[in-house]
Structure 1
Amino acid sequence: MEEGPMDLPVIQYAKKICEQELRKALAAGKEGGIEIYYQPFVHVSTGKVIGAEALTRWVHPLLGDISPRIFVPLAESNGLVTDLDRYVLTVACQQARRWQDTYGPIRIATNISPHSLQHADFVAVILNVLQETRLPPECLEIELTENIAIRQEHTLSILARLKGLGIKIAIDDFGTGYSSLNYLRVFPVDTLKIDQVFVRDVENSQQEVPITSAIIRLAHELNLQIVAEGVESEEQKNYLLRKDCHVMQGFLFSKPLPADQFERFLQASVQSGSRIGRC
């Protein structure tokens, strides 16, 4: 249904209400309905859980589940996204440190908005979080999407400083944008994450197979870690293994889980003899 002129005030009002509610939620944290879920990275050949991606969920007491596709752009447009990134980073690092104390090294990956990277104190924010949580820098991975402005000298300087501290840099959804290869030329990258669109049809599509294979070969040639996103079937897993991609993420292994359920996932992994790997 197309939006008419009378719909615009309603939409603007709804956005204003959501903005106000998001401010309240960020101030209240978990009590405001902002929760962090964790989806594991699994080294399939060994069965080891080597890390997890921290994903934000917002469950409003009246509005219910609000999609990240709604509240993240809203946060970016009204200046709240840096507060959101800081909150997710803090909670995820705290949780990762607790798991490390019990199960050993585990890498935690968080998505960072391009807007946050433009803040002059962004590196200081990350350093403070790492110091407060006692999480080793090498156990934190920053995930970037192709929305980032790669030509800005400030952004490149920030990423170089993070890399110098030992923090890992990952390109999320690799292959979906026009500037994928330029990322590898410009950024100090550690990890490529193959977008699920190149994983979904690898056992059927003649078009996706050579692209997926090429991304994996490229990562190996550049000595980068490769992670396949959105793995949902044994056929996809086996294909990726044959192509020498061993770290995977997807519903075949686990959906995103709240912290307590993720810890049970870790416990089961350890009890089965699959120890957590190093960061």
Structure 2
Amino acid sequence: MTAKDVRLLDELERTLRQGGLRLAYQPKVDARDGSLVRVEALMRWTHSELGAISPVRFVPLAEKHGLIDDMTQWALRTALRQWREWKSAGLDTSVAVNISAVSLEQLDFPDLVERMCRALDVPTDRLVLELTEGATQPLINLMDTLTRFRIKGVGLALDDFGTGYSGLIQLRKLPFNEIKIDRQFVTELPTSRDDQVIVRSVIELAHGLGLQVTAEGVETVEQLAALRELNCDLIQGYLLAHPLDASELVPWASRHKRRWKLLTRPLQDELQRVGA
């Protein structure tokens, strides 16, 4: 462990103890009508000297040195409390929280999450836990824990689908109800026949297994149009919104309803042109 890592770990522990982390929320919308379906809670850490520090940097440190459980519980409580505030403001959505496979090793973790939801008066079916495909190797050994989440009504999403080598096996064995197509397959989707074949196959496979599909990293109207034509369920990316502060979501939702018509007009015009 380098001196830089030691310092960063000390700073992270202090920041977590003092409430210095925050969550940003990125919307996911229905690809058909643009309605808000879910927001993903994304952990953010802005250091006073080092500036913004990526979760890719600090989450592995937390996993290795015993901070991940406290961090995960903080993220869950914060996101659930925020869901209740949005609900009171008239915005009914669900919230997704990224979970480390390390947290799932705690046998009572499903019960803890259920108690959190009950204490904050949040229905369990309004919560989705997202896990990366890279974590699915150990997840096979945690089948009972994952199944208990599904029994309790908590959704499970497989993030970054397509970046690991064993994704298809995991879809068959693990109780997910959503997969997220990694952005690397979305970037060139409008012009890349290979990506179109891959994404179409993934969507058809997922639907055949009764799974919902979210496309990450959608940044252009051309990508959006291509995903709609391929019957993708949910869309997430900068075209719709950058990660937002909690207070920004309700105003964004109001603006988005008007903007969605503009984003999808090119496809509607093309369908009219060909007489569809």
Same fold, TM exceeding 0.5? Answer: yes
Query: What is the letter of the counterpart of residue 11 of structure 2?
Result: E
Cα deviation digits, residues 22-54 of structure 1 (max 9, x gap):
11111111xx2x110000001132121111000
* Partner of residue 100 from structure 1, selected from 84, 87, 92: 87
Query: What is the letter of the counterpart of residue 104 of structure 2?
Result: L
Output the TM-score relative to the length of structure 2.
0.89
Cα deviation digits, residues 85-128 of structure 1 (max 9, x gap):
11111101110121122224311001100110111221132122
Mapped partners of 2:249, 2:26: distance in 1: 8
| Ranges of 4+ aligned residues in structure 1 off by more than 6 Å | 270-274
Is residue 2:152 matched to residue 1:169?
no
Query: What is the letter of the counterpart of residue 43 of structure 1?
Result: D
Query: What is the letter of the counterpart of residue 249 of structure 1?
Result: Q
1:222 positional shift: 1.4
Q: 1:1-279 residue pairs with structure 2 within 5 A?
A: 12-29=2-19, 32=20, 34-150=21-137, 155-269=142-256
Distance 1:69-1:273 versus aligned 2 partners, 3 A rule: closer
Query: What is the letter of the counterpart of residue 216 of structure 1?
Result: I
Whether contact under 8 Å (1:123, 1:161) holds in the other structure is yes
Q: Which moved more, 1:117-126 or 1:187-196?
A: 117-126
Output the TM-score relative to the length of structure 1.
0.88
Distance 1:241-1:272 versus aligned 2 partners, 3 A rule: closer
**Larger RCO (CA under 8 A, 6+ residues apart):** 1
Kindly report the root-mean-square deviation, in angstroms, between the aligned alpha carbons of the 2 structures. Answer: 1.9
**SS of match in other structure, 1:250:** coil
Mapped partners of 1:150, 1:264: distance in 2: 40
Unpaired runs of at least 5, structure 2? 262-276
Query: What is the letter of the counterpart of residue 21 of structure 1?
Result: E
Unpaired runs of at least 5, structure 1? 1-10, 275-279
Whether contact under 8 Å (1:141, 1:169) holds in the other structure is yes
1:264 positional shift: 1.9
Mapped partners of 1:236, 1:186: distance in 2: 31
Distance 1:63-1:259 versus aligned 2 partners, 3 A rule: same
Q: Percent identity?
A: 36
Query: What is the letter of the counterpart of residue 235 of structure 1?
Result: E
Mapped partners of 1:242, 1:159: distance in 2: 33
